[in-house]
Every structure is written in C-alpha cells, then in structure tokens.
Chain A
Amino acid sequence: MRFQEMTMALDRFWADRGCVIAPPHDTEVGAGTFYPTTFLRALGPEPWRVAGIAPSRRPADGRYGQNPYRFQYYYQYQVVLKPSPSDVQDTYLASLYHLGIDPLAHDIRFVEDNWESPTLGAWGLGWEVWMDGMEITQFTYFQQIGGIDCAPVSVELTYGLERLAMYLQGVEHAFDVEVAPGVTLGDMRADFERQHCAYNFDHVDADLQRLLFDRFEAETQRLLGLDLVHPAYEFALRCSHAFNLLDARGVLSHTERQGFVQRVRRLTEACARAYLSARAAAAPAEVA
C-alpha cells in the first residue's frame, strides 16, 4: 500500500466512524496535539471527533535524513475522539486491519505511556502501541489540557505514518517509502530535510528568534486582551516553534530552557482559559 493510499484509507476509516477529516493546520507545530482542532476542542463539554494527517516539526530531532526513523519534519496521523468511546482499542485494531495489518499475525502490545507536554500544560495516560517491538502509535486519554481538567475525557490516537509505511512496504528507510507511483518520501523531503537540519543546527539566527519570541509573546497577550483567542493561540504556537529552533541551535542553557518552557506554557494556558470563557459566553445563544 502506497503512502497516500494509507492516509486515504485512514481518512475513510475514521470518516466512517463519525470523524471530521480536517486538513492540516498551517502554523508550525511540534505534534498534532498542538492543532487547535485538538488542543482547543479537547476543552469544554461538546462531543467532537476529528482525524487527519498532521505534519509536524521537531527541529532538534533532525538527523539530516541519515537516520531511518528520525526527522525534523514528519507526518503523524491524528485522531481525537471526545468523549473517549469504550471500544476505542478494538476500533483502533480494526483500523490497522483496514491498513492491511492483521493483528493476529503480529505481536501487538499496549505498553504503558504517561504523556506530558510541559509547553501545553497538558498530561494524559495511555499507551505506546508496539507492533513486533516497534512503536507505531501513541494512545492517550487526555486528563488535563492547558492546565484545565478535561471533562469529558478525549482520547488521542497518533499514528507514526512513516514507520507504518516502512513496515507495510518492507523498506528500511522512511525516504524509501513510495508515496505515489514512482515517487518516494525521499523525493519529496530529502532536500528539505537536509537543508532544514543545516538551518536548525547551524544557521538559526538566535538573536532573531529570541526577538521573535518576545514579540510573538507580547502579541499573544495583546490579542487575548481583545478576546481574539484563535489568532492569539497561533502566536503562542509561533513562540513554541521559535523556542524549538533555539533549542535545536543549542544556545539555551538548561535553566534558560526551563524559562522558555514556562513562558510558552503560560501563553497556551491563557489561550485555553480564554477559549473556555468565550465558549461559555456564546453558549446561551447556541441553546436558543
């Protein structure tokens, strides 16, 4: 199964189970959890189901495309189900079957994983799903998002698409994965990966990113003052990315790093609170 057929199959599978298939968000994020369709929608009481491919950036994880598994830019497949259904594990296994992975022919395990995102003020409990020793999915029941208790609880499934595809196609490097006939992930991303690694590790202008961080932080706060939660949250995401670039560039001491984490967290938590109060203010109209 080619890579794009996989994502289409997952879209079909989750659409059939009541999910909105949402296009990727267009601000840089470290993981699908940062998407507003996950982070903000996991707050509040309304039911919500969303799925879709979620390109993510983790500048420090780049290896110039040398390592078969680690990239600074990669694809997750993100599913959020709120409230978490009682048969979600079985549904997940059915999705693997839908991809052509027969759970009966493999060693599939749900191995404890305690997830925490200090920059999002978020934590949850769940599993890493292992297939024949390889982690293919993260499975998390959100307990807190933006410092706020989740009620109801959402479950987030994050498939590692490159790994699954490598497995399905029997190749040993993500860049050898065939996306469409005659086109591999390497064709699409190898140059991009190499150049961004060079940028992340050696050419990030640290002064510029520090300046941007400060300005984006101020902008987030200014926009929150105007009750513009969605634009504010995007600037908080930009802060997070500026911080990730500084981190990859290796210019942050341990203490300074902690300081940046705290600052991003204060912003995302403020956005979460603002989102909830905006929701509460809008609620009467929705009822009527």
Chain B
Amino acid sequence: MATLLFEIGTEELPSWFVRHADDAIVGIVSARLGGAGLAHGAIRRFSTPRRLAVLVDDLAAFSERRPDVRRGPAESAAFDANGRPTKAAIGFARASGVDPADLLVEETDKGRYVFARRELGGDPAAELLPPLLAGVIDDLPAPRKMRWGDGDVAFVRPLAWLVALLDDAVVPVRFAGIEAGRTSRGHRFLHEGPVELAHAGDYPDALDRASVSADRSERKASVIASAESAAATAGLLLERDHALEEEVTDLVESPSAILGSFDARFLDLPEAVLATVMIHHQRFFPTREQGGSLAASFVAVSNNRVSDDTVVRAGYEQVLRGRLDDARFFWDADRRATLAQHAWALAGIAFHKELGSMADKVARVAKATRRLAELLGVSKEEAAVLKQALPLFRADLATQMVYELPELEGTMGCAYARAEGLPEAVAIALEDGVLPRGPSGALAASRVGALLSIADRLDTVTGFFAIGRRPSGSADPFGVRRAALGALRTLTAQGWRVPLPKVLQAVASSYSAPVVEDDVLADVERYLWDRVAGLLAEEGIAPMVVRAAVHGSRSVIGAARRAHLLQGLVAVPGFSDLLTLHKRAANLAKQTGGAARVKPGLFRDPVEGPLHDALPEARRGVERLMAGVRKQLAPWDLGHGPGAELHGLDAAVAEVVRLKTPLDAFFEGVMVMVDDAEVRGNRLALLGEVADALSDLGALSYLEAPAEA
C-alpha cells in the first residue's frame, strides 16, 4: 500500500475551469486506476489557479490478477492435417499474448473452438502509473484548449511543472515535454524558491507552508469568512453573491480581504448599476448598512498579503472610481432623452437580417402581447399598464448604459422608467419582460411582464424557425433553445391554462415578413413540447409518464400537472391493472365508426349493465383527481419541480380503480365482436365510454402496465 501524489502545475487557469476540474478529477483518476486494476483508498483533491492535484491513499503495489479468455478460430481452421497450428491459429495466439502451443480446444454450443487463456494483472503500480497519469491530463474536460511554444500538445493553459510521487519515489510521467519530479511551487508572490517534497504525503502541509490554500472548499470558506470580517470592521454586512464567491475562490491561492470605499455621491446611481460594476467588472463584493441600503464600501479579495495595504487599496479605489464615473456619465446622458425617444433608435439596431430591426421585433411583440392578453384575460389595471409599457419595451437597448453594460438590459429600462416618474407597475413590467436571464434565472413575477417575456421569446423561436434556422444538436447560435425554455417556464409559472397552439397562433399572426406557414408553426409546437418533456424529465418524471402527459394535454401547465399526477398513479397496483384493461378497451373502441350512444336495452349479458353503471363513479373520480391536482400543485417554475407533493387523493384514486372489477368481468364474460351488428356496436360504444371516462388523465396508451402477464 502506498500513497500517490499527482500534481499538474500550470500557468493561471480560468476560474471556471478550476471549478470544473475540481469536480471531475477524482472521478477521472478513480476510473483510470480502476481500468488498470489498481485498488486504492480515498482520493483527496486539490485545486488552485495554478495547480490541480490528487492524493491517493492506500494504492495497491500491483494490479489485481484477473483471467483473460479469448475465443479464436474453429478447431478445423486452427490445425492442419498433421495437427500443427495454422497461420490463423498462430496469428490469434500472438494477438492474444500466448504461445501457439498453449492454445486450448473447448466444446461450445456452436462446435469446437480454439481458446487462449492467460492471467492478466499483477503488474507493478510504478510501471502502470506513468501513462495512466498522463492520460488523466487528457481526460480533464475542457471545451477549449490551446497550444503553446513549439509543442503540439493542447491544454487549457500552458503546463508549467508536474509532480508525481509514489511514497518517496518519483513516477516518471512525461507530458508536453515536461518530466515529473518532486518539485512543486508555492505561492507566486508569498513564497520564494521551489517546494521540495520528500514524500507524497507531505503535500498538504508543504503547500500550506508555501502560502497556498490548496483545498478548494477550505479556500472558498476562507474567502467568505475573510470578506465578511473585513466588512464587519466597518460595521457593514457583506453582500453575498454565489457566483462571485465561486469565481474569486479560483482567482486566488491565498485569499486576503481588503475593505475599500468610494464617494458616497455615487450612491444615487441605481443599486443594480453599482452592484454590476463592483461584481462583474471588478470582482468586488458590495456591502450593506445594517439598515439594508447599499454602503459606499466594498470588499476586494486579494491574492497577496502585503504588510501595508494602503497602496493596493488606493489602486482598487481609483479603478472603481473610474468605472463609476463612466456609469454616472451614461446615467446622466441617457436621462437626457425619455425611454420613448430611445425607442426610436431601435430601428437602427438589427435583430437579424431576415427578421428585421429591433424596432420591427418590438412592434411584432406588441401585437402578439395584445392578442395574448385577450386570450388570457387581464384586468383593467393590467391592460392600462400594458398600454404604457408596450411602446417602451426593450427601449433601453438603445441607451449608452446598456451598450456598455449589456447585463443591465431590462434593469435600466426599469430604472429609467422610475426616473421619468412612470408608474411603478410599468417600470417593473419593463424589467420582468427580459426575464429569465438564464436557465435558472428568476422569472417575471408580474402578469404583464410575463406576457411580454413570453411574446418576445416565442417571437424569436417562431422567427428563426420560419427562416429555417432552427437549432440543431448543440448548435444554437441565435439562442432559440434558451428563448423557448424561458417562454415555457414563464408560461407554466403563470399557470395559464391556454392551449399552446393558440398561444403560438397569437405570436405567428404578428409576422408578415416572413409569413409563418402552418407547417412551420406545427414544427415550432413539436419543438416546444419536446422542451416541455425535457423540463419534466429534469423534475424526475419517468419518460413514459412524460409522453402520456404531453400527448394528453393542450396547455403546458396541464401537461406538467398531469405528469406529476400520473407519476403517482402508476405506482398504485390496482391502477396498473386497470391500465391494461383500459388499453384493451380503447383499442377495441377505435373500431367504432362514430360516437354511438350506449343503449342499455341492447345489453344481452349480466356483466354489461354493471360496467355501464360504474362509469359515472369513475368519471367523478377522474374529475376529483384533476381538481385536486389543480388545487394542490400551484403553478411553478417548470424544470425545478412543484413545491408541493400530492396528498389526500386516495379516495378519488379508489373511485377510478373500482372500474377495474366490472371491466375485468366484462372482458371475461362477453365476446365483443359478435355477429349481431347491433349488440356488437353497442358493446363497442360502451368500451368507447370506458376509454373516454379516463381520457382526461392523459394519453394513457403511452403508459405500460409494468406487470402485464
């Protein structure tokens, strides 16, 4: 048993890569060791901007022994008339790593064949490791790699050094012209000279002494703790920002927080502007007063620990002042025109050459939004807000602030609307309309904002489909997939029970060039339902249940609720039995031409009447289930799961499941396809009613009863 250290030293890695590699490296190392048959204990991982490393405990000295059996040619082809191995047999033996004389003949169900048997494994770890560890570098997931110097090897950033130690012995790994050794490096500024390692196990302490905080989760905790305590020295609270915490953790090897401040006159800029400048542009944490308002101070997390931080702080403050000056300039300049005036400039901003300018897009969105509002129904107040918001929607795209800080789109629309003194609901709708900003971003809370968001996104999806630019595989240059997901999430969260085709017609009818043909719109609808299915799958719904829900629904919220209901129902034993019978009934009922009415006078067998009599109860059960689901599952952010679980529906489920007994008896007792056309037609009509009684639960034919005998 030995301890293995492998450290990949690099020039500074991108922060997102450090995080991904930190997540992936243990799995990669463990897969490689497993593949080589090397047993091992726990694997610890380390990562900083300049290194990725693993420390493997209890590594076996030799790979595990395992038998290797390969079948070769048939005996008749393997030996000649004199019993000597043929060329085919010799070739097979060589390829299998055995001597031709050691080939065995065994009986199989296809005849007698030649076999090569040998034992693999038992190789020393020290021999297996060099190529194995080089392979780990190749396996690290990176979407974009680079070359450097004279070499043709690619990695995320140039490799600088490698350390590979098996206990106290160097493992001779070679990669990109670098030979692994026992020499690591410490912090770029806080540690002078190399870090020599006598033994693999010395690694954590040696790095610690070299001012490198190499355990990522410890470093992250220390980033947060030091930033919070820096803020606390001025009685301030740190503004927590998850993404910033992650990023800063991977920008430093030794975090040290510094509190700085800026001129309080900048505090009259909108908070979102201040936060964006600090967080996105400078990677500074904003701070708040105990009372809640943003403070004129920030916390920077430095990668260096200087004895006197006056110079560093002054540097931070000067850069931030420059940025805030810029922001103030845009804020003042943009407000010299109204949002309505900025909206004129949208004609000069292209959306796509075949889909017109942003002004064209916004005009289409306005039409579509009005139609959607009619379809969904809005209050008088909401209609008034909509009327004011529509001509200003996305006008902030033409402002200097959004040109310079594009992540503030929508936020600035809201801020400028407030500054103009427009009603608060209008300002909020303008920001809500650009939400969500990402796959997990917050959704529009206001109904008016949601209408704008849905119309805008579906305009994008429909338009690109209409000009033949639908996304394919991973390629989605126009963000169509993102737009589709945003629209569907918003639609579901609003709980609007409107058929998706009607929503799409409202959007498509605002297009005049290009005209959206019916087949294109049908294609868009299929694409959207596929995305709904994907979002439901992310909520853990089984694939067949997703299909039954999607194919049995016209509105997105309906599909989402049915999915969760059916997911529960398929687990009820009696329900799956009923499904089998129901499927049989539905299949037979398809043979009836029209919707014939059931005539009890034509019942000829005692099992027909009870089935007919049981239908009202089953229908009531289905109604109660659907009502229960609507009541219990409040609209939610699709893909993220409803916040509630279904409960108390057992009685309704029982009402539905009770249909099983008379239906079973019916199939046991009567022949449906009898010669008497009247009786046959009547029985088919009865089965048609059975199928119809459960149809509101979804397209049940997609559900397979698990234990069908």
B residues 32-54 in Cβ contact with A at 8 Å: 49
B306 and A132 contact, CB distance less than 8 A: no
Report the minimal beta-carbon distance from A215 to chain B, rounded to whole angstroms.
26
Q: Residue of B at shortest CB range from A85?
A: B149
Report the minimal beta-carbon distance from A175 to chain B, rounded to whole angstroms.
14
Using A86-B149, A89-B11, A112-B14 as known contacts, say yes or no to A104 and B304 having CB atoms under 8 A apart. Answer: yes
In the assembled complex, B144 has its CB within 8 A of some CB on chain A: yes
A253 and B350 contact, CB distance less than 8 A: yes
B350 and A255 contact, CB distance less than 8 A: yes
Q: How far is the CA of A253 from the CA of B312 in the complex (A)?
A: 43
Report the minimal beta-carbon distance from B223 to chain A, rounded to whole angstroms.
14
A residues 153-175 in Cβ contact with B at 8 Å: 153, 155, 167, 172
Using A141-B148, A152-B149 as known contacts, say yes or no to A133 and B12 having CB atoms under 8 A apart. Answer: no
Interface of A (DSSP majority class): mixed
B312 and A153 contact, CB distance less than 8 A: no
Q: Residue of B at shortest CB range from A251?
A: B348
In the assembled complex, B55 has its CB within 8 A of some CB on chain A: no
- Contact partner of A106 (CB less than 8 A), chosen from B49, B160, B311, is B311
Q: Residue of B at shortest CB range from A105?
A: B306
Contacts of A152 on B, CB cut-off 8 Å? 149-150
Contacts of A151 on B, CB cut-off 8 Å? 147, 152
Contacts of A255 on B, CB cut-off 8 Å? 350, 353
Contacts of B312 on A, CB cut-off 8 Å? 105-107, 132
Contacts of B303 on A, CB cut-off 8 Å? 107-109
Report the minimal beta-carbon distance from B554 to chain A, rounded to whole angstroms.
39
Contacts of A104 on B, CB cut-off 8 Å? 189, 304, 306
Q: How far is the CA of A86 from the CA of B11 in the complex (A)?
A: 10
Of A67, A105, A127, which is in contact with the most chain B CB atoms at under 10 Å from its CB? Answer: A105
Q: Residue of A at shortest CB range from B260?
A: A133
Contacts of A69 on B, CB cut-off 8 Å? 322
A108 and B149 contact, CB distance less than 8 A: no
In the assembled complex, A48 has its CB within 8 A of some CB on chain B: no
Instruction: Please choose the segment from B75-83, B112-120, B313-321 that sits at the chain A interface, where 4 or more of its residues have CB less than 8 A away.
Output: B313-321
Contacts of A212 on B, CB cut-off 8 Å? none
Interface size class of A (residues with CB under 8 A): 35 or more
Report the minimal beta-carbon distance from A126 to chain B, rounded to whole angstroms.
8
- Contact partner of A134 (CB less than 8 A), chosen from B16, B146, B315, B329, is B315
In the assembled complex, A110 has its CB within 8 A of some CB on chain B: yes
Report the minimal beta-carbon distance from A107 to chain B, rounded to whole angstroms.
4
Q: Residue of A at shortest CB range from B161?
A: A86
In the assembled complex, A84 has its CB within 8 A of some CB on chain B: yes
Q: Residue of B at shortest CB range from A125?
A: B146
B149 and A132 contact, CB distance less than 8 A: no
In the assembled complex, A268 has its CB within 8 A of some CB on chain B: no
Report the minimal beta-carbon distance from A148 to chain B, rounded to whole angstroms.
13
Report the minimal beta-carbon distance from A247 to chain B, rounded to whole angstroms.
13
Using A106-B304, A153-B148 as known contacts, say yes or no to A133 and B189 having CB atoms under 8 A apart. Answer: no
B157 and A125 contact, CB distance less than 8 A: yes
In the assembled complex, A83 has its CB within 8 A of some CB on chain B: yes
Using A67-B326, A133-B315 as known contacts, say yes or no to A83 and B149 having CB atoms under 8 A apart. Answer: yes
Contacts of B12 on A, CB cut-off 8 Å? 89, 109-112, 127
Q: How far is the CA of A113 from the CA of B349 in the complex (A)?
A: 27
Report the minimal beta-carbon distance from B128 to chain A, rounded to whole angstroms.
29
In the assembled complex, A276 has its CB within 8 A of some CB on chain B: no
Report the minimal beta-carbon distance from B49 to chain A, rounded to whole angstroms.
8
In the assembled complex, B15 has its CB within 8 A of some CB on chain A: yes
Q: How far is the CA of A83 from the CA of B151 in the complex (A)?
A: 9
In the assembled complex, A68 has its CB within 8 A of some CB on chain B: yes
The proximity string for A residues 124-143 relative to B, scoring 1 for CB distances below 8 Å and 0 otherwise, is 11010001111000000101
Q: How far is the CA of A158 from the CA of B620 in the complex (A)?
A: 76
A84 and B152 contact, CB distance less than 8 A: no
Q: How far is the CA of A127 from the CA of B50 in the complex (A)?
A: 13
Q: How far is the CA of A153 from the CA of B148 in the complex (A)?
A: 5
In the assembled complex, B682 has its CB within 8 A of some CB on chain A: no
Contacts of B316 on A, CB cut-off 8 Å? 132-133
In the assembled complex, B251 has its CB within 8 A of some CB on chain A: yes
The proximity string for A residues 27-43 relative to B, scoring 1 for CB distances below 8 Å and 0 otherwise, is 00000000000000000
Contacts of A106 on B, CB cut-off 8 Å? 304, 306, 311-312, 315
Q: How far is the CA of A111 from the CA of B147 in the complex (A)?
A: 18
B152 and A86 contact, CB distance less than 8 A: no
Q: How far is the CA of A215 from the CA of B350 in the complex (A)?
A: 27
In the assembled complex, A203 has its CB within 8 A of some CB on chain B: no
Chain A residues with a Cβ under 8 A of chain B? 67-69, 83-86, 89, 103-112, 114, 124-125, 127, 131-134, 141, 143, 150-153, 155, 167, 172, 253-255
Chain B residues with a Cβ under 8 A of chain A? 11-16, 49, 144, 146-150, 152, 157-158, 160, 189, 251-252, 282, 284, 300, 302-304, 306, 311-312, 314-316, 318-320, 322, 325-326, 329, 348-350, 353, 357
What are 11 residue pairs bridging A and B, where the CB atoms are less than 8 Å apart in the complex? Answer: A84-B148, A89-B12, A104-B304, A109-B252, A112-B12, A114-B144, A134-B318, A141-B146, A143-B147, A253-B357, A254-B348
Q: Beyond A104-B304, A153-B146, list 7 extra A-B contacts (CB 8 Å).
A: A84-B158, A106-B315, A107-B300, A114-B144, A133-B300, A153-B149, A254-B350
6 interchain residue pairs of minimum CB distance = A132-B315, A254-B350, A112-B14, A110-B12, A107-B302, A125-B146
